[in-house]
Structures are given as structure tokens and as C-alpha cells.
């Protein structure tokens, strides 16, 4: 054998061995696919994903060391907004996730839960963990039957339900607005807000007897603006609970940032922040769901599954943590004084309204 031939043979052999080693190493990796309902910069989903990844790492599953991680984005807030587009984005994400051959699929928020998680019910090869589900699990379960009881789901799915903690928020707001008696609630017309509306009704049933509320649904940004102006002019309303995540105007999508920036500049009444991200953007606050903590709990469930616990043995739980949160700049803008008790017990205090920051 000539010298060049021997060299070529050795090079080819070494390359083959390295390829085999890479394949064997990849086969030894755990595989998790995170499917986002929204885009890669969404203010609610990205903290959840961060929490998932941190929980996995804390449990010894580190991306690049013993974990292969794939993230898919359905982008149903800005791009795929119609029912047919959401369904198509879900089918595409489901196909891509299966091609990845994951041990676990983690769905973030409702669109991914309904279009990707539900088709995987009782799949013997893939476990599913959901996070940020707004729809009450029992409502989904009547249609899909993916769990037996919350404590013992019994199938291949577990997860974390996004509780709103409206009663706790009311108690916080009452200390800031002592005359609080009636709340004006504005929701958009999305499936997410359908679920939020139902949760609000259930949670408000446990609110103090002195609290009443008025709920309005809007489809367009113009309708939203009109409702804010009406609430501004209504002396019976002392605070508003705005949850308009995406609206239309002249067939154009108005993003959350634009909606809340306009709200900050035009609404003159204290506003509840459904989560700490919205508080950071500029809404006054309350008792806010911690998205990262919710994702962290979902990640802990995923880690337990990787260690051998069946998903159906892990309970479906409510979002585990809320924190008293308020935006100091918004309180000054509204002429409100934050009591010392709230300042001392607050988990997050934001000194700027992010949406109104000067460049």
C-alpha cells in the first residue's frame, strides 16, 4: 500500500470513529423540546423557558453536557393569529418536535398546549409537561381527557396551571387605594383571554364582599381606547385590570407594548399588573405571577421524569409563587403613595416604567 493511500485510509478511519463517537454521545443525551406558543422575545414565555432550563441544570441536566435542547416558536401573538394559522403552526411544531425524538416535550402557554400537547396524550415514547396554561385544566380535560385527577394525572402529562391571584392583588391594591370598591376589567377577544375571563370569575367569587367588578371584552385598539376613556370618566371605578395582549386596528396587529404604552400615557387610574413583567413595563402592580418560578416548577417536573418518575405520578399544580410587585414611577405619575408595609413586603419594586424610558 502506498504512503498516500495509507494516509488517506487512516484519515478516513479516524473520521469514521469520530462520527461514531459523536453519534454514541448524542444517543446518551437526554432530549427535551420546548414549544413556545409565542415568539422568541415574548415577555411571558421567555422567563418560563429560563426557569425550565435553570431547574434542569440544578437537577444535573445541562445543555451541551448531557442534554440536547430544542426550542420551537409558534409565534401566535404577532404572526399566526387566526384560528387556522394557530392550528397550522401547531401542526408544524408537533411535526418538528417529533423529528427531534424528544424524551419530553414542554409546552409554554395555551396554544402550544392545545395544538401540540393534546395530540401527544398517551404517547408511549414522549412525556409532556405544560407551563403557563390559562385554561382551567378541568375544562380542557372534559374535551381531551389527559388526566384522572390533579394529584394523580395517570397519563403521560403533568404541568403547571397559571393562577391569577386576583384576590391577593385586590388586597394589595386596597392598601394603596383605600377607597377601592369597584374594578374595571378589560380583556381582548383572544382564546387566552377567554380563559382569563373564566379564571377571574372563579377567583373573584372569593374576593372580599366590598369588591365588585365590571368586565368588558374588546376586539380592536379603538374599542380598548374607548373603554379606558370611559373608565377614566366613571367615578364608581377606582382601579382597572387591563389584559389586552394583542388587538387589531385596520387589519394591523397592535402589540402589547403599544397597547400598554398608550395606557400609561392616557389612563389616569391605578392599574393591576397581572404579572411582574407587566409591572416592569409600567403598570402599577399587585400580587403578580412569577413566570420564571412557574417555569422552574415545570422544569423540576421534567427533571423528575428524566430521573425515572412517570409524568402521570407528578401532580398538576397551580403556579407556585406570586410576589407583591409595584412600579414606583407609575405610583408617582398617578399621585399615589405606597404604604411602608407594601414597600417592606414587596418582592419586586420597579423605579422606572420600561415602556416610557427615554432612549
Residues whose CB falls within 8 Å of the CB of residue 72, separated by 6 or more in sequence, listed in order = 33, 34, 35, 36, 93, 96, 97
Domains in the chain, CATH or no CATH each:
3-162+291-318 (3.40.50.2300), 166-289+322-356 (3.40.50.2300)
Sign of the dihedral defined by the CA atoms of residues 152, 297, 167, 243, in that order: negative
- Mean pLDDT in runs of 10 for the chain (359 residues)? 54 49 60 97 91 98 97 92 94 98 97 97 98 94 97 97 92 95 95 90 92 95 97 97 90 90 97 91 91 95 98 95 90 95 91 85
CA distance 317 to 319: 7
pTM: 0.81
Instruction: Report d(CA 61, CA 297) in Å as an integer.
Output: 15
Report the distance separating Cα 339 and Cα 355, nearest Å. 25
Those residues whose C-beta lies under 8 Å from the C-beta of residue 73, and which sit 6 or more positions away, are: 36, 38, 39, 40
Summary mean pLDDT of the chain: 91
The predicted structure's pLDDT at residue 16:
47
Contact 155, 121 (CB under 8 A): yes
Residue among 189, 330, 201, 197 at smallest CA distance from 272: 330
pLDDT given at position 24: 39
Cβ 327 vs Cβ 350: under 8 Å: yes
The SS3 call for residue 343 is: helix
- Euclidean distance between CA atoms 162 and 185, whole angstroms: 18
Would you state the pLDDT for residue 272?
A: 97
Residues 96, 98, 102, 107, CA torsion sign: positive
Kindly report, residue by residue over 100-143, the tens digit of the pLDDT: 999 999 999 999 999 999 999 999 999 999 999 999 999 999 99
Could you tell me the sign of the dihedral formed by the alpha carbons of 159, 191, 142, 201, in that order? positive
Long-range contacts made by residues 115-119, C-beta under 8 angstroms, separation at least 24?
115/74, 115/86, 115/87, 115/89, 115/90, 115/91, 116/35, 116/90, 117/146, 117/157, 118/144, 118/146, 119/94
Q: How far apart are CA 33 and CA 29, in angstroms?
A: 13
CB atoms within 10 A of CB 149: 10
Q: What is the pLDDT of residue 357?
A: 80
CB of 103 within 8 A of CB of 303? no
Amino acid at each position: 500500500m502506498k504512503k498516500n493511500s495509507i494516509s488517506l485510509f487512516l484519515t478516513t478511519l479516524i473520521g469514521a470513529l469520530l462520527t461514531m463517537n459523536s453519534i454514541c454521545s448524542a444517543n446518551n443525551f437526554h432530549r427535551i423540546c420546548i414549544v413556545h406558543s409565542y415568539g422568541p422575545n415574548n415577555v411571558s414565555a421567555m422567563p418560563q423557558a429560563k426557569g425550565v432550563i435553570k431547574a434542569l441544570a440544578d437537577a444535573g441536566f445541562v445543555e451541551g453536557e448531557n442534554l440536547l435542547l430544542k426550542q420551537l416558536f409558534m409565534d401566535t401573538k404577532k404572526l399566526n393569529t387566526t384560528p387556522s394559522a394557530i392550528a397550522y403552526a401547531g401542526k408544524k411544531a408537533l411535526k418538528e418536535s417529533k423529528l427531534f425524538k424528544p424524551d419530553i416535550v414542554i409546552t409554554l402557554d395555551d396554544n402550544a398546549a392545545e395544538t401540540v400537547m393534546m395530540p401527544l396524550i398517551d404517547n408511549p415514547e414522549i412525556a409532556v409537561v405544560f407551563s403557563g396554561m390559562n385554561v382551567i385544566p378541568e375544562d380542557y380535560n372534559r374535551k381531551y381527557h389527559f388526566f384522572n385527577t390533579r394529584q394523580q394525572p395517570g397519563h403521560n402529562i403533568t404541568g403547571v396551571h397559571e393562577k391569577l391571584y386576583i384576590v391577593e392583588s385586590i388586597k394589595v391594591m386596597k392598601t394603596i387605594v383605600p377607597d377601592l370598591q369597584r374594578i374595571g376589567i378589560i380583556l381582548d377577544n383572544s382564546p387566552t383571554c377567554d380563559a382569563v375571563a373564566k379564571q377571574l370569575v372563579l377567583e373573584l367569587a372569593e374576593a372580599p364582599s366590598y369588591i365588585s367588578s365590571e368586565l368588558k371584552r374588546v376586539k380592536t385598539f379603538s374599542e380598548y381606547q374607548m373603554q379606558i376613556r370611559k373608565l377614566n370618566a366613571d367615578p364608581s371605578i377606582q382601579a382597572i385590570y387591563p389584559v389586552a395582549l394583542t388587538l387589531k386596528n385596520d387589519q394591523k396587529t397592535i402589540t402589547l407594548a403599544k397597547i400598554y404604552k398608550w395606557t400609561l400615557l392616557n389612563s389616569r387610574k391605578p392599574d393591576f399588573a397581572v404579572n411582574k413583567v407587566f409591572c416592569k413595563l409600567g403598570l402599577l402592580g399587585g400580587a403578580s405571577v412569577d413566570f420564571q418560578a412557574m417555569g422552574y416548577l415545570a422544569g423540576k417536573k421534567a427533571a423528575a421524569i428524566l430521573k425515572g418518575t412517570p409524568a402521570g405520578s407528578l401532580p398538576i399544580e397551580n403556579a407556585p409563587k406570586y410576589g407583591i410587585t409595584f412600579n414606583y414611577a407609575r405610583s408617582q405619575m398617578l399621585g399615589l403613595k405606597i404604604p411602608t408595609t407594601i414597600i417592606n413586603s414587596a418582592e419586586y419594586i420597579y423605579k422606572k416604567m420600561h415602556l416610557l424610558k427615554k432612549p
